[in-house]
Structure 1
Amino acid sequence: MPSNTEIILHLLQTKGLGPKGLRKVFAGLIASKSSFADMLGMSVEQVVMKLGLGQKLAERILNFKASDLSKALEDNVVSVLPIIDDSYPMRLKMTLGDAAPPVLFAKGNLDILDDKSVGFCGARKASEKGLLVAALCAEALVKEGVNVSSGYANGVDMKAHTSALEHGGTTTIVLAEGIQNFRIKKEIKDFFDEDRAVIVSEFFPTGRWFVSNAMQRNRTILGLSKAMMVIEAAMKGGTFSAAMDAIEHRVPLFFADYEVDNVSSEGNRYFLSKGANAIRANRHGKPNIDGVMRAVNRAEEFCSTSSKQLQLI
């Protein structure tokens, strides 16, 4: 009998079954009180009726094909978390709703996924000032017991991850490619500790990096976070889009407020002029994150209350 991981990998490779179709499959399994293994034992007619799929798609699902990748994931200590799994981050489901990734692949300390977390976003080619601000903000959050989440790209992302680990904190690395492609980069190597990091990907384990993946990954960072800090945003591109997504999903959004803007922070001034929350230095030259912490604690309280309500439904 194939494992749940093998069946999920098969579903992810089933032609015509995208994220929306996967969520429909998972919802159908819950409604019919069926397991993944039960599904493979169904007839085509039963799959159509219980999972709400078309006949051709049902036939493809039942034409199970095992993947050697399952063993590779096991050897690499990768957990597979479908959205119906209790280990799937509740915050991600609550924030993104139907847009939440139907499956996550994760390795490292999965307990971090339930911790208070603030997302970092910013330019890959950030200014020296921006990199310093990212490092100082991550350090300040770590001292408050907050996890730092970002996208493992060069620039702001890498500085935030590294600073969090360097100062004894935790970090969530959200990939824009398959988790089998994860490698510890030289910038973070001296501080990397798998007990204080969790690596997450919503893409097929061997999938390559694409621009569209990076945009999608930014939404997942947002969904895992109780607030988003933007260090440097240009007037277009992934960071600007991530900020717009934060507004859409009502995630508290904070921008570094520089006395002098440069090309990589023009977006900061735009959003600040529209009333976005500002992060400024205090009288000691450190970032004042009081507003961020208030937002995080409010979100934590709301998430806790909502989770209890969901369990009672």
Structure 2
Amino acid sequence: MMPSLSPNTQAILLLTAPLIAGKGASSPELLTPGEYKRLARHLREIQRQPADLLSPDANDLIHACQPVIEAPRLQRLLGRGFLLSQVIEHWQARAIWVVSRADAEYPRRLKARLREDAPAVIYGCGDMTLLETGGLAVVGSRHVDDPLIDYTLAVGRLVAQAGRTIVSGGARGIDQSAMRGALEAGGKVSGVLADSLEKTAMKREHRNRLIDGQLVLISPYDPSAGFNVGNAMQRNKLIYALADASLVVSSDLNKGGTWAGATEQLDKLKFVPVYVRSTGTSSAGLDALRAKGAVLWPNPHDIDGLQTVFNSGGSSPAQPPQPGLALFPESGTTEATSTTQPATEAPPAFEAQSAESRPSVGEPSHESAAPTPEATTAPSRSPELSPDAAGQTPPVTPSDALFAAVREVITQLLHVPMKDAEVAAALDITTAQAKAWLQRLVDQGVIEKQKKPAGYIVKQSSLFE
């Protein structure tokens, strides 16, 4: 089902999107990602939200934003309502949906990991819930030989057999091979495109899989935008942010999008472990990534082996390089039942609120200005109260009731390691509030704080309580 276009999203599109159906041409007046980030921060500081810029009495607010963006420019951008109505009709005819950071439907992994650097708007086609399933990011060069294509197809098939999602960029070569291997094996794929979302979504080979929920295609750029090297570089962080682990099959040395994305992940972002191919022909690019901290891919031959890769967090010993070693034995893969389900995140109960009343990270929030009572009073006791000596159960306080709901939400989130800032971003609360709740759950023995990969995670024993 396509989400409806919220007032906040309409305002953000007017400020940042080309709104030229079928052409994707840019306007010099559009707010850049950096400019929109500053505007969103300013709106949050004055306790307003993007939708307020479309209200009948918006002139005062527009002038209040003058220190960030000049008022005449904002007025010209916000006056493009007719163009917006035309392009929305164009997108809807092609089953393209749009969500902004102010929407509850916005991919939570992007919001939690990228925070204010998450794209203001995401365009997509297909089942957006796939974006919350994590999986294996597979990336590599466009120009590769047949053995690497076959290798990557086999990786995609194994990931599909394990019930995991392939996350990739949709470019020819390695990206498309990983996606095709998973789809042909009945698996699921999240494709993060740098260009041509509309054209790609309309291809015959993709339509049924988009409709059936096997494939979702997203892009932070206008659906009709053509290829742009800068856009291709920038979208790499989205691929890693949506995944649980990553595999670089091939990479040039010191150049190209694959190299840029992998080095950014290793040196700066550190969202997921980065594995590099360890079989076949050696590569200067992969060797250099290994020197930067990437881990040799252990070449799992079956489902259990692949699950071990996800569970190890990139810290397990890897097999040494073995030139010419096939991914699978000749007899094929072993059918096995996975003991670890993909990490899905149940939406918080309060995400049912409208975007106007509960804007997301990067958007202004009326609620985030003042700390909640729980932020200052987080006693280390369970909300499940025991009868007292007289046999009476003490009354449940509002704080206990709130924490009971919070506990369930946080434990759903922490099936994968998350830092306190990521939890705060996912729940749209302050980091101090998140730390208080997380410490309370640590004291109760529900979660634990681990060092590698750094973050809080649900204790295995608590999963069976």
Interval containing the TM-score (normalised by the shorter chain): 0.7 to 0.9
Structure 2 residue aligned with 1:22: 36
- One of 43, 61, 80 as aligned partner of 1:46: 61
Q: Distance in 2 between matches of 1:86 and 1:163?
A: 32
- One of 247, 252, 270 as aligned partner of 1:250: 270
Structure 1 residue aligned with 2:72: 56
The count of aligned residue pairs is: 307
- One of 237, 240, 245 as aligned partner of 2:259: 240
Within 5 Å, which residues of 2 pair with 1:211-290? 211-235=229-253, 236-247=255-266, 248-251=268-271, 252-261=273-282, 265-281=283-299, 289=306, 290=308
CA drift of 1:33 comes to 4.5
Q: Distance in 1 between matches of 2:208 and 2:88?
A: 30
CA 1:163–1:59: 2 relative to 1, 3 Å: same
Within 5 Å, which residues of 2 pair with 1:153-232? 153-183=171-201, 192-194=209-211, 195-232=213-250
Q: Distance in 2 between matches of 1:42 and 1:64?
A: 17
- The secondary structure found in structure 1 opposite 2:95 is coil
Greater radius of gyration (CA): 2
Kept after mapping to 2: 8 A contact 1:140/1:287: no
Kept after mapping to 2: 8 A contact 1:113/1:224: yes
- The secondary structure found in structure 1 opposite 2:246 is strand
CA 1:107–1:191: 2 relative to 1, 3 Å: closer
CA drift of 1:173 comes to 1.3
**Aligned pair 1:66/2:82, yes or no?**
yes
Identity percentage over the alignment? 22
Kept after mapping to 2: 8 A contact 1:48/1:55: yes
Any idea what the Cα deviations from partners look like across 1:174-212, whole Å, max 9, x if unmatched? 1111432324658x5598453111110111222111122
Letter in 2 for 1:277: V
Any idea what the Cα deviations from partners look like across 1:192-247, whole Å, max 9, x if unmatched? 45311111011122211112221122222122222221011111211111111211
For structure 2, the residue ranges without an aligned partner over 5 or more in a row are: 19-26, 314-341, 344-412, 431-465
Structure 1 residue aligned with 2:309: 291
- The secondary structure found in structure 2 opposite 1:302 is coil
Q: Distance in 2 between matches of 1:54 and 1:8?
A: 16
Kept after mapping to 2: 8 A contact 1:254/1:278: yes
Any idea what the Cα deviations from partners look like across 1:284-312, whole Å, max 9, x if unmatched? 59995333443297985224986654425
Kept after mapping to 1: 8 A contact 2:276/2:296: yes
Which deviates more from structure 2 when the two are superposed, residues 60-69 or residues 289-298? 289-298
CA drift of 1:116 comes to 2.0
**Aligned pair 1:10/2:14, yes or no?**
yes
Structure 1 residue aligned with 2:324: none
- The secondary structure found in structure 1 opposite 2:113 is helix
Kept after mapping to 1: 8 A contact 2:136/2:246: yes
Which deviates more from structure 2 when the two are superposed, residues 63-72 or residues 237-246? 63-72
Letter in 2 for 1:45: D
- One of 159, 164, 169 as aligned partner of 1:146: 164
Kept after mapping to 1: 8 A contact 2:15/2:30: no
Q: Distance in 1 between matches of 2:136 and 2:414?
A: 11
Q: Please, what TM-score do these two structures have when normalized by structure 2?
A: 0.59
Greater helix content:
1
Kept after mapping to 2: 8 A contact 1:26/1:84: no
Cα root mean square deviation, aligned: 3.1
Which deviates more from structure 2 when the two are superposed, residues 121-130 or residues 22-31? 22-31
CA drift of 1:96 comes to 2.3
Kept after mapping to 2: 8 A contact 1:226/1:299: no
Q: Distance in 2 between matches of 1:44 and 1:79?
A: 30
Kept after mapping to 2: 8 A contact 1:81/1:103: yes
Kept after mapping to 2: 8 A contact 1:231/1:256: yes
Kept after mapping to 1: 8 A contact 2:140/2:173: yes
Which deviates more from structure 2 when the two are superposed, residues 25-34 or residues 235-244? 25-34
CA drift of 1:73 comes to 1.0
Q: Please, what TM-score do these two structures have when normalized by structure 1?
A: 0.84
CA drift of 1:136 comes to 1.9
CA 1:76–1:104: 2 relative to 1, 3 Å: same
Any idea what the Cα deviations from partners look like across 1:11-52, whole Å, max 9, x if unmatched? 224714111232344445555344626534234332232685
